[in-house]
Structure 1
Amino acid sequence: MATSLSSTGPENSTAYINGRIYTVDPSHPWASAFIVSPDGSFKQIGSTEDILEGARGSGIVVVDLRGQFVMPGIHDAHMHLLYSGLALTSDANIGMDSTSENIAQKIKDGSCACHYAHAYGDWIQAAHYDNTGFPGLQADRKYLDSMFPNQPVMVMGGAGHSALLNTAALKRAGYNIENEPDAHGALLFRREDGSLTGEVAETAMTKAHLAFPTPSLAHVKRVLRHAIKVAHRAGVTSCQEASANTVILHALKELEEEGKLNMDIAAHIMYGPEVFAFEKKDSLHQLLDVADRFKSKHVDTNFVKIILDGVPLPPLFTHCALDERGNPDPEKVVVPDVREAIAKYDERGMTVKVHCTGHGSTRLALDSIEAARRNNPHGPRHEIAHNSGVHDDEYARYKQLNVTAEMSPAMFFTHPVTLSSNGLMDWNFPKMLAAGAHLTIGSDWGAAPDPSLFDAMEGIVEVVGNGSKEKGGEMILRMLTMNGAEAVGREKEVGSITVGKKANFIVMDRDLSKGDFEGARVLTTYFEGERVYERDSM
């Protein structure tokens, strides 16, 4: 009689020994070994001696970590997986600082970043242009028209809040080049004669984004898988997708059904404005009504995204400030019904993430959350995204209202652009921590070349630790792991190396608990016990 074999029995577990394991579990913060069960969860955690004793005689595989630092997988609190994947596989690659002298030539010479040059029909998309390289900070379509007189070209800039279109793209999208009317929340740059320069920002991009061809579902699946692979390289095993739309959710659903999704994703479905979802408002609101249909083992759709204002970047300055009476500037608020929207989804038990970069937008978002909380005292935890412009009066409200302060983009925490902003960009970790706010950290990948967070942490570690690098290191590691899990309601499943939780963990080239982040690199990433990235193999 043939012997019955199964890969699900305990003998198929794997033991990891001789590690320096930082669990982010306050009940036992350090260990040297653990066992991962066949179902991809932590079965036992302890000393190497205890683990070996338990494993002895069972024949399970034993992996020697050789003293390497191990920690839970990173939770990136703000990512744009589809935009990033398209940028890496399908956009013209012109770098991060293209100017008037080289922007068109780079597009022509560089073609596309990868193999999918025709992902957008006859359109070309590229990133990123930098206004500082143009005379008077004014980008102009003439630089694109010289080489692309007939093919639509759109170059992204302004951290995704602006775009430079050539004449062909403006016409294809339906802009009135000579006399396009102004609109609320729309920033149209004009030549002296009133005609469009081709640079459009915030809601002025709506026509272009809705006219831009939607990639096929098969292509979206390809680029999402590629983006997730790159995220694994940065140690990310769970994330918040900050601009989910219909095509993203359908792609994730199919990847899940095919067993090809190895990332925990909290998908924040865009409520508004429609420009940032590349999808019409009515369709997005219908999607929110049926969000449960797209929930799966690795995808949670109980999240809403609202972009309330723009960015404090030149020449845009589209962030919402406070007027002399302390009221938010309504001209910079691009979702006027934010209070009603938050109340609606709060009542449904959905978490709302609100993009705020100015004192005014932050105050308006907190006021809206407070109004919802009065009507629904036990409603879900909501989030403010970015928090680069927070008035001193608001810090205490985060804890009072149970609001997560999602700090992003990490690359700007300490950056020349930040230093030159005259205080408009201020991620004030000490004030947030002193007020007892719940903090998470996001890369805002899509506005950055890659999602790696470690180098950015070097600039804030001593600030967070009140002068102590080691204390700051431990606090940041919690923000990057357990705090993120708590923000999306998955603290019982991930966020720490704890018995019963998913075996999502990373092996690093150094002990990050000491606060030494600069140049830190991920050696190996595991998702549910399976190795999904190994540095030497890339």
Structure 2
Amino acid sequence: MTLSISSATPENSVAYINGRVYTINNAQPWASGFIVSPDGRFTYIGGNDDIQNTAKELGLVTVDLKQRFVMPGIHDAHMHLLYSGMMLTSDVDIGMESTSETIAEEIQNGMCRCEYINARQDWVMAAMYSNPGFPNGVPDRKYLDEKFPDQPVVVVGGAGHSHFLNTEALKKAGYDLENEEDVQGGKFFRREDGSLTGELGETAATKAMIAMPKPSLAQVKRVLKTAIHAANKAGVTSCQEASANTLLLHALHELDQEGGLRMNVATHIVHGPEFIAHESKDTLHPLIQKAHEFRSQHVDTRFVKILLDGVPLPPLFTHCELDSDQKPNQDKLLVLDAAEAIKKYDSQGVTVKVHCTGHGATRMTLDAIEKARAANPNGPRHEVAHCSGVHDDEYARFRQLNVTAEMSPAEFFVHPFTANSEGLMDWNFRKMLNADVFLTIGSDWGATADPSLFGPVSRVVESVGNGSKERGGEALCRMLTLHGAMAVGADKEVGSIEVGKKANFIMLDKDLSLGDFDGATVLRTYFEGECVWDSEVS
């Protein structure tokens, strides 16, 4: 007779002891350790004695946490996994210091460093250019054309809201170099004779982003694995993908089916504008309606993304402000059907994340959500992304309308650049918390080089503490974990260390509950009980 052996039985659990475990569970805020089942769930949380007795009785493998600080895995409320992964592997990172004299050479040198060449079928995507590096702050395609006369080149700038193209890329994408017509929400930068300089703001880049060849599905899967590994290193075990498209959904679905997805991903499929998805609305809108076909164990597709306005960054200034009559500036809108779209998706139970950076865009979004809520009182909790431009009259409305204030990009919360923005960029945690607004935090990875949130949030600990009922560190830990899970309806499964929930947790060298974020290092990241990042071996 063959003896039946299984790794799924209780004696295959793992016991963790001697930790300082911050659970984010008000009923049991602290523990010394826990037991994780073979299928990656917490089955016991408590003191060392009880855990060690159980471990001895069942013969469990035991891990000594060595008094390290342990907390739930981070939920990043705003990431661009595909674009970040492409930049880490296939695209060209030239930094922000390039000039008119060096940009072409830096792109050439960067191409030599890329892991995968020809991922975009001979088109070159590079990032990030910065306008101050060019005479009078004006990039011109002539600076790229000399070294790239026949190869299309696209350089991203403006936190992803502007693109700088050489002549060949403009031609390949179908632009009329001499007489290109303006478009709603777009900004064409032109020479004195009216011809295109090659710099395109917001929806002006739509033709280029749709025309650019797409990487293969196999390549997308490779770069997603790279991006997710980098996110795991930063302690991230779940995220909201803020620019989901067809390729991304197919890749995530296959990765999950293959057992290779080490992150929970809430995919916000782009309703508009098209340039942010690199895909036409002709396929994006049908994708939203059949998104349920791509749902899987670690992929939740009940989300939509709308960019309502641009960014308050020079030389764009494409944010939708309020005019002298306190009305939103319609010329700055990137999507004209946002209110109708929000009402439709709300009726379908789909959460909408709306990019807003100007006072006008935020007001319009809250007005649209208010109308949707009147028609559907029990609809889903929607989100305003970024929240860097919120008029004083609007803070209370977030709470009244059950709207999540998603604060991102974290890197700019307190930053010399935004400090000199003359009030155009203000992530006001104190006002949000005083109005009892539900907050999440995102890196907006894709606009920053590193997805780690610890450095940026270290600069808002004091303001959060002054506005919150908890200490600043405790409140931020909650925003980074349980609030993120609640925002995507996953809080029964993740977001805190509780019996029955998935064992997604991180071990750090500092106690974040005390607000000690600055310089904190993730020592290990666990996803459903499996170590997916270990600083000692990675």
TM over 0.5: yes
Q: Does 1:383 align with 2:383?
A: yes
1:110-125 residue pairs with structure 2 within 5 A? Answer: 110-111=110-111, 113-125=113-125
- The Cα of 1:528 is off from its aligned counterpart by 0.2
Q: Which residue identity does 1:15 align to in structure 2? A: A
Paired position in structure 2 for 1:3: 3
CA contact (8 A) 1:69 1:508 kept: yes
Secondary structure of the equivalent of 1:309?
coil
Which is worse superposed, 474-483 or 51-60?
Answer: 51-60
- SS at 1:502 equivalent: coil
Instruction: Give 1:72 deviation, angstroms.
Output: 0.2
What is the aligned partner in structure 2 of residue 326 from structure 1?
A: 326
Give the residue type in structure 2 aligned to 1:174.
Answer: G
Which amino acid in the other structure matches residue 293 of structure 1? E
Is 1:227 equivalent to 2:220 in the alignment? no
State the alpha-carbon separation in 2 of the partners of residues 172 and 501 from structure 1: 51
Distance 2:455 2:9 in 1: 41
* Structure 1 residues 489-508: aligned runs within 5 Å: 489-508=489-508
Q: CA deviation at 1:97?
A: 3.2
Q: Which residue of 2 aligns with 1:482?
A: 482
Aligned to 2:100: 100
1:55 positional shift: 1.8
CA offsets, 1:363-401, max 9 Å, x none? 000000000000001100000000000000000000100
5+ residue gaps, structure 2, are none
Counterpart amino acid of residue 339 in structure 1? A
Pairing of 1:211-250 with structure 2 (within 5 A): 211-250=211-250
Q: How far off is 1:113 after superposition?
A: 4.7
Instruction: Name the counterpart of 2:301.
Output: 301
Partner of 1:364: 364
- Contact conserved, 1:221 with 1:252, CA < 8 A, in 2? yes
Which SS does the other structure have where 2:227 is aligned? helix
Name the residue aligned to 1:447. 447
> 1:450 offset after TM fit, Å?
1.6
Whole-angstrom CA distance in 1 between matches of 2:75 and 2:291:
22
Following superposition, the deviation at residue 438 of structure 1 comes to 0.3
Which amino acid in the other structure matches residue 371 of structure 2?
Answer: A
- What SS does the corresponding residue of 1:193 show, helix, strand or coil? coil
Q: For residues 87-486 of structure 1, what are the structure 2 equivalents within 5 Å? A: 87-111=87-111, 113-466=113-466, 471-486=471-486
- 1:498-519 deviation digits (Å, cap 9, x = unpaired): 0000000000011111111111
Aligned residues, how many? Answer: 538
| Amino acid of the structure 2 residue aligned with 1:403 | V
Q: 1:113 to 1:296 in 2, by over 3 A?
A: farther
**SS of the counterpart of 2:286?**
helix
Residue of structure 1 in register with 2:75 after alignment: 75
| TM-superposed deviation, 1:257 | 1.0
d(CA) in 1 for partners of 2:428, 2:101: 37
Q: Displacement, 1:456? A: 0.3
1:56 match: secondary structure: helix
Aligned partner letter, 1:532: V
Residues 1:246 and 1:468: Cα distance change in structure 2 (over 3 Å):
closer
User: What SS does structure 2 have at the residue aligned with 1:57?
Assistant: helix
How much does 1:98 deviate?
A: 2.2
- Please report how far the alpha carbon of residue 7 of structure 1 lies from its aligned counterpart in structure 2 after TM superposition: 0.3
Deviations 1:224-267 (A, max 9, x none): 11110110000000000001011100111111111111110000
**Aligned 8 A contact 1:70 1:505 in 2:** yes
* Structure 1 residues 69 and 452: alpha-carbon distance in aligned structure 2, compared to 1, 3 A threshold: same
1:113-142, CA deviations, whole angstroms, 9 ceiling, x for partnerless residues? 531111011111100000122121111111
- TM-score, structure 1 as length reference: 0.99
In 1, distance between residues paired with 2:112 and 2:232?
A: 23
Q: Equivalents in 1 of 2:467, 2:68: separation in Å?
A: 26
Aligned pairs for 1:41-56 within 5 A: 41-56=41-56
Cα distance between partner residues in 1 of 2:198 and 2:460: 38
Contact 1:41-1:500 within 8 A present in 2 as well: yes
CA spacing shift, 1:392–1:468, aligned 2, 3 Å = closer
More off after superposition, 391-400 vs 508-517 = 508-517
Once the two structures are superposed, what CA deviation does each residue of 1:180-220 show, in whole Å capped at 9, x if it has no partner? 11111110001111111100010000011011001000000
- Over aligned residues, Cα RMSD in angstroms? 1.2
2:63 is aligned with 1:63: yes
Long gaps (5+) in structure 1? none
Matched-pair contact (CA < 8 Å) for 1:469–1:514: no
Deviation of residue 468 (structure 1)? Answer: 9.8
Query: Residue 468 of structure 2 contacts residue 475 of structure 2 at CA under 8 Å; is this kept in 1?
Result: no
Q: Which SS does the other structure have where 2:205 is aligned?
A: helix
Provide the rounded CA distance (Å) in 1 between the counterparts of 2:235 and 2:489.
20
Give, as a single letter, the amino acid of the residue that structure 1 aligns with 2:302.
N
3-state SS of 1:304 partner: strand
CA contact (8 A) 2:69 2:508 kept: yes
1:428-472: per-residue Cα shift (whole Å, max 9, x none)? 000000001000000000000021000001110111111999810
Decide whether the 8 Å contact of 2:431 with 2:467 is kept in 1.
Answer: no
> Whole-Å Cα distance in 1 between the matches of residues 184 and 338 of structure 2?
15
Q: CA deviation at 1:105?
A: 1.0
Alpha-carbon distance between aligned partners in 2 of 1:103 and 1:334, rounded to the nearest angstrom: 29
| Letter aligned with residue 349 of structure 1 | G
- Give the Cα separation in 1 of the matches to 2:225 and 2:379: 34
Q: Is the 8 A contact 2:8 2:39 kept in 1?
A: yes
SS at match of 2:370: helix
SS in 1 for 2:466: coil
Q: For residues 467 and 401 of structure 1, do their structure 2 counterparts lie closer, same or farther at Cα, with a shift above 3 Å needed?
A: closer
Letter in 1 for 2:68: Q
User: How far off its partner does 1:178 sit?
Assistant: 1.2
Q: Is the 8 A contact 2:434 2:467 kept in 1?
A: no
Q: 1:182 and 1:4 mapped to 2: Cα distance?
A: 71
Aligned runs of 1:28-43 on 2, under 5 Å? Answer: 28-43=28-43
What's the secondary structure of 1:464's corresponding residue?
helix
Say which SS state the counterpart of residue 169 (structure 1) adopts: helix
Aligned partners of 1:92 and 1:112 also within 8 Å = no
**1:525–1:533 Cα contact (<8 Å) kept:** yes
Instruction: Evaluate the alpha carbon distance shift between residue 469 and residue 460 of structure 1 in structure 2; reply closer, same or farther with a 3 A threshold.
Output: farther
Distance 1:467 1:320, change over 3 A: closer
Q: Distance in 2 between matches of 1:388 and 1:428?
A: 8
SS of equivalent to 2:394: helix
Q: Which moved more, 1:111-120 or 1:246-255?
A: 111-120
Per the normalisation by structure 2, the TM-score is 0.99
Whether contact under 8 Å (1:239, 1:266) holds in the other structure is yes
Whether contact under 8 Å (1:76, 1:442) holds in the other structure is yes
Deviation at 1:110, TM superposition (A): 2.1
Greater Cα offset, 96-105 or 242-251: 96-105
Q: Distance in 2 between matches of 1:409 and 1:394?
A: 20
3-state SS, counterpart of residue 285 of structure 2: helix
The 1:217–1:149 alpha-carbon spacing in structure 2 relative to 1, beyond 3 Å, is same
